[in-house]
Chains A and B, each alone.
Chain A
Amino acid sequence: GNSVTQMEGPVTLSEEAFLTINCTYTATGYPSLFWYVQYPGEGLQLLLKATKADDKGSNKGFEATYRKETTSFHLEKGSVQVSDSAVYFCALITSYGKLTFGQGTILTVHP
């Protein structure tokens, strides 16, 4: 079946540090891939997505590239801010729209 594995957290960084959150997946075919973010006290929001191999999704300084050969979709940001503190979820989608999520990675950014 489909599954998503994210790097263990939590991740704690200083402001302006480089961020990488690893995500790998197992799926039949080539699903679309997503990163969702959950800020404290808020609902899940789409951060970025990629729909086919070698696509790069980007938003708010975050980027992730769909790597078919390594079945990965790692999230990166060059310089994190305190306001990026949140829980980040990697996910894939099936043909009827069911999302399969990773377990989430808590990111805390200190000033």
Chain B
Amino acid sequence: DTGVSQDPRHKITKRGQNVTFRCDPISEHNRLYWYRQTLGQGPEFLTYFQNEAQLEKSRLLSDRFSAERPKGSFSTLEIQRTEQGDSAMYLCASMRDSAQETQYFGPGTRLLVL
């Protein structure tokens, strides 16, 4: 257990439905990251927060995706009008405010879109 938690761990939904995932980082960590991992691939960066500010978004993050970190603590990732191509593991990670620090990952939320 790294101290980063994610909820739910698994989500099955039908195409076109909206889903929301939650990440609770380690409490003193300012930075929070979302990644997406598809089968047989390494995680790919989606977006990053420093405290409550979203500072970087990948081109992978289409208009159907939105992420928030309203009080600089937990974060949510919402996918609207899900598509089968959204099926993946969504990973959250947190770290202190330095690129030399270690990034700690949560267990991930596995999404399956039918």
Interface residues of A (CB under 8 A from B): 4, 32, 36, 42-46, 49, 51, 89, 91, 93-104
Which of B40, B42, B93, B100 contacts A51, CB < 8 Å? B100
Which of A42, A43, A89, A99 contacts B45, CB < 8 Å? A99
Bitwise, B76-101 to A at CB < 8 A (1) or not (0) is 00000000000000010101000111
Which of A43, A49, A91 contacts B42, CB < 8 Å? A91
CB-based contact B41/A104 at 8 Å:
yes
CB distance from B22 to the nearest CB of A (A): 15
A93–B45 Cα gap in the complex (Å)? 11
Q: Dominant SS at the A interface?
A: strand
Beyond the given A43-B106, A97-B48, A99-B45, could you list 20 further A-B residue pairs with CB under 8 A, ordered by the A residue number? A4-B42, A43-B2, A43-B107, A44-B91, A44-B93, A46-B103, A49-B102, A89-B42, A91-B42, A93-B99, A96-B48, A97-B33, A98-B33, A98-B48, A99-B35, A101-B42, A101-B44, A103-B40, A103-B42, A104-B42
- Find chain A residues with CB under 8 A from B33 CB: 97-99
CB distance from B8 to the nearest CB of A (A): 14
- Find chain B residues with CB under 8 A from A49 CB: 102
A98–B55 Cα gap in the complex (Å)? 11
- Find chain B residues with CB under 8 A from A94 CB: 99
Q: B residues 1-47 with Cβ under 8 Å of A?
A: 2, 4, 31, 33, 35, 40-45
CB distance from B103 to the nearest CB of A (A): 6
